[in-house]
Amino acid sequence: MSLTERFEEAVAKSKTLTTRPDNQTLLKIYALYKQGTQGDVQGDKPGFVDMVGRAKYEAWEGQQGKSQDDAMNEYIALIDRLADEAF
């Protein structure tokens, strides 16, 4: 199975987690997904009034320079770990 196929499988698995991850973990999932699908952060950083958007942007920005393949592999490992913890 290719990395892209494994990544897509992990994305689907992320939507079926029985326990909602904490906010920090959700930000990590978001950032790894964005880095894996789009590469380095793009666009303008949201202002202070958009706290959620700003947190997401900063989480993605924290992945800057990581290859898309590495981000996909980390995403897969994180989702697998979360799925295993749920059982």
Q: Would you write out the chain's pLDDT as a tens digit for each of its 87 residues?
A: 999 999 999 999 999 999 999 999 999 999 999 999 999 999 999 999 999 999 999 999 999 999 999 999 999 999 999 999 866
Query: Residue 73: is it exposed, middle or buried by C-beta count within 10 angstroms (0-12/13-18/19+)?
Result: middle
Q: Are 18 and 86 in contact (CB under 8 A)?
A: yes
DSSP 67: -
- Global pTM reads 0.93
Q: How far apart are the first and last CA of the chain?
A: 25
Q: For domain 3-85, which CATH number applies: 1.10.220.150, 1.20.80.10, 1.10.3720.10, 1.10.1040.10?
A: 1.20.80.10
User: Whose structure tokens read 């942007």?
Assistant: 57
